[in-house]
Amino acid sequence: MANNEKLIIEERSRDIGSFLVGRLLPFSKKRQVGPFTFIDHMGPSTIGPDNYMDVDQHPHVGLSTLTYLIEGAVEHKDSTGAHKIINSRDVGFMTSGKGVAHSERTPLQYKDGKVYPIHGYQVWIALPKEKEEMEPQFDFTAHAELPKWSKDGLHYTLIAGEGFGKTSPLPVHSPLFMMEIEATENAELCIAHQLKGEIAVVVCEGIIKDGEHTISAGQMMISKTENECSLALKKGTRILLFGGEPFPEERYLLWNFVSHSKKRLQQAAEEWKTHQFPKIKGDDTYIPFPEIKFKSK
């Protein structure tokens, strides 16, 4: 990747209650990659009697959340009535549109006093301007339904969107891609002409080399150019690729809300504070709105 078109970003930790997660995006020098606005890395860690995942009911507006676990499981519930256990390599995809509330918890079958691994990513994908107020929906694609193939020492899984001449069955709302690639031996990943739009590479495990640069686990590399050549992956390395076509308008982020309009974000904040959002049936939990400022630059 051309040096003048590349950023290498270190994962930054933040606390979400029982878990410490690594924030990769947004970053001060790069707010989005294609339509991707936010990516959190959870783990690798463990869950058990002292640290189950219990993220109470909270809202979203103007985005889709994508949950993808390398290990473990999460129970998803939302105000559309969706209730799903998202297991390892499945894809949970909740589109908030004009407004949705959801919770994320350790499934009951994992609350048996034992310790289990948990490792995965949650990604926020901004909606196109004309779809920001769409009706909320939840879509689920099982691992078995995702396109998977192996070639030249690399195993590919296309999680969302289009790439390498294939299309994921997951319904998305703008041109994008997200995929997992694992090196079963030392290998070269050729990206040229395979992906459209801005490109980010997250190193989940192992190391990759881009010319003279070495990028290791916990780092992300971002390029603004599409026509890249190749990356060298060491055996055992696992990466995520994501990105796509950027929107013509800037997107603003306020807590769990994304929009092209700051006024809309303020409206969403007031609606949550005054309990006007739809609720999960039978769930009275509530995460209060934090008093924070816009992050637009």
Per-residue pLDDT tens for 262-295? 999 999 999 999 999 999 999 999 999 997 655 5
Question: Would you list the DSSP string of 184-219?
Answer: SSSEEEE-TTT--SEEEEEEEESEEEETTEEEETTE
| pLDDT at residue number 209 | 87
140 pLDDT above the threshold of 60: yes
Per-residue pLDDT tens for 75-125? 999 999 999 999 999 999 999 999 999 999 999 999 999 999 999 999 999
> Which value, in Å, is the radius of gyration of the alpha carbons in the chain?
19
Does 34 map to a domain? Answer: yes
Does 92 map to a domain? Answer: yes
Per-residue pLDDT tens for 2-14? 333 555 545 544 4
CB 228 within 8 A of CB 1: yes
Reduced to 3 states, what is the DSSP secondary structure of residue 90?
coil
Antiparallel, parallel or unpaired: β 148-151 and 54-60 = unpaired
Q: Which residues pair with 259 in a beta bridge?
A: 252
Does 256 map to a domain? Answer: no
The pair of three-digit structure tokens given for residue 236, joined into one six-digit string: 């055992």
Does 53 map to a domain? Answer: yes
**Domains held by the chain: number:** 1
Does 32 map to a domain? Answer: yes
Does 260 map to a domain? Answer: no
| pLDDT at residue number 37 | 92
Q: What is the share, in percent, of the chain residues with pLDDT greater than 90? A: 71
User: Residue 146: which domain range?
Assistant: 3-244
Does 279 map to a domain? Answer: no
| pLDDT at residue number 102 | 98
| pLDDT at residue number 180 | 98
Antiparallel, parallel or unpaired: β 148-151 and 154-163 = antiparallel
At 29, the pLDDT band (50, 70, 90 cuts) reads low
| pLDDT at residue number 161 | 98
Per-residue pLDDT tens for 160-193? 999 999 999 999 999 999 999 999 999 999 988 8
* Spatial distance between the Cα atoms of 245 and 275, rounded to a whole number of angstroms: 35
Q: What is the share, in percent, of the chain residues with pLDDT greater than 70? A: 86
What is the CATH number for 120? 2.60.120.10
Per-residue pLDDT tens for 214-236? 888 888 887 756 655 688 999 99
Does 278 map to a domain? Answer: no
